[in-house]
Structure 1
């Protein structure tokens, strides 16, 4: 039986199911190029179309069953409450039965329905949800299996192939005019140069376990918000090569998608949150390459859609050009690399100010409280009850912590990003290596010294410790130790330091102007 005939029979089956389910209420059918979805009350039933598009093959009943089961298995990793199971459709095309005995006509993925208003394409990403999404995604990647050394996915040449394919498909689909053709050529050359420079890094990331069985299609349309929590769904089940990818490529898709609709601050917050939870600051070296790739994937899909409809209207042309412009923007260095120290005692507001600055500027926020615990295999919220100068706060542990902050600062600047280093920096011995690093790398150096009266610091520290929802373990005993042991800045340091009184909210615009200045 030819594929068109099988497709017509499935369409008839879906029409019969719709009529049957309509007895209990309104039913809608949503159709894409690869599926038919029945929306009935609190339930959704998705049937895979009997198509073979090369990159996916649902042409036989056995394959549709297999990929329906794969869809449930894979998506239950992130949305177990949404994916209820695979339901066989039995009976006849005129009187189908969901479940039941007898010969199977087709298979449906049974899902719990949710409001489309919950999608990130319909609402902005709020700070709380961005934080939860960063933590959820980092945990998901940490738990996902990594490709084996002998595995077939994620090798550098397999990373480059789809990047190059994007350009050829776009050119074949839309016959770009002179300006678009020049932009495509420019991006193609940039991609090749970046790949040549990063091939060894890409291979090392694979060997280090960063190529994992990911979601594969992580954009705003596949993230919803339910009860204030992010719900990630609809991962790629039909082509393993599209989900066995570098975690940097996964994150880049969502970051690019957010930036494309003007949610750059949210994208920066998501990136910084993910890096803090994952510790994978090494991904910054390859992030721009993947941001450009993901923008060009969107451009390619738009071009294919225009070709399938045998025309490109003005709106489609605008969308295509918009993604090409996004790719060009992503190919540029994100800003002037600089090293910024945020110094001050516990309770002075370093972390809050760093978070606000990192949303407004392309700066990576690294925090001593988080990195110290990571060095000792502890989660950020762990409570060690260590005394000052004991346990993970002993002198040798602090040496390791500041060495780690220095190493991460180097990684960030060498990847083209500025860095905000959030630590007490109680002594010149702690501060000087960061100024030397900036001099070595030829980038800007800034020092923000935050302070408030001791009475204000004591109140803030006591309140924060009582709530227990921050990575800092500092209590009043720690603060008193800091007050006694801190070293004043030298005259030379004071000449290049901006002092910030945090009794009132800092003047953010003034700080942004300072931190946006060229070297």
Structure 2
């Protein structure tokens, strides 16, 4: 009921003044880029402080890609008179509800271009604020109700783009406040900035949907390392089949399974149990997180099919990323494991030939599979994965 009251109030506000050409001109991609390009320039000094370089590049890649793929859509929204003199700073702190009154206050006055925006952008700010407060249910309800009441189904096609933009702006504002206040408050502002930038990255790679992101590939392709780094960038939990298998077998994580027990620990029964547990951990995490990362070889098509079936039943979107490394580099990495004390995987060089033969290339996943070279630096691979995910997200929104 409160959501409906807010939407009714906003609708009266938006319709109180008819759109004018000078307002609608700010709905073109060229005009929108003035604000987004300005944001990227202003955030650049904070790269390495409140936002990582790979997150910065992925968000910028998504933003520019969305412009390139949606020029027609932006112009259609101008023709539909969706560009209005809006609030411009519509977040939860600016809405006051009493049993008898709905008050929305403190709109932007210092710069008209921040108010001359798509109503979808205005509402996306409020939806993003709900997401930030871990109330995605209310964010979804807000946008779905607004789309219905405004007779604007296309609003939902652009809302994730605007959510990403709004989260990035909030990250920028908090970053600036972090260097403009005393130390005690500065730390809190910096933490808030990092959270907002992380949310913007989540929108860039997966939109508002829950995502099960699978990092798969042959042994020694760096799956666990890449998965962990992606988990840090996206603030998503990471679950590893190697660790789960060791837990089920009651083997300490970094202790190599003895040859005597290897047949048991790597039996078909134990492998099936491991993948079931991996999925159970993932789906449980998705009840409280927007995404989850699953790290496993998924060397058999049967295991991949199991995962696809489970995602189809449970609802989250599934995206598999296969890491690809030259065989010579895999050999080198496996040999190096003999000198590593903290390795969880049991695979070593003497397993190389057997594991290579056992790997079933995921050809059945094409064209949805993302394949990324992992021969180079971890940071380069993580960046490439995030860029490819953002491209996929753009394409998915268009379709």
TM-score scaled by structure 2? 0.50
Structure with the larger helix share: 2
Higher relative contact order (CA 8 A, sep 6+): 2
Larger Cα-atom Rg: 1
TM-score scaled by structure 1? 0.39
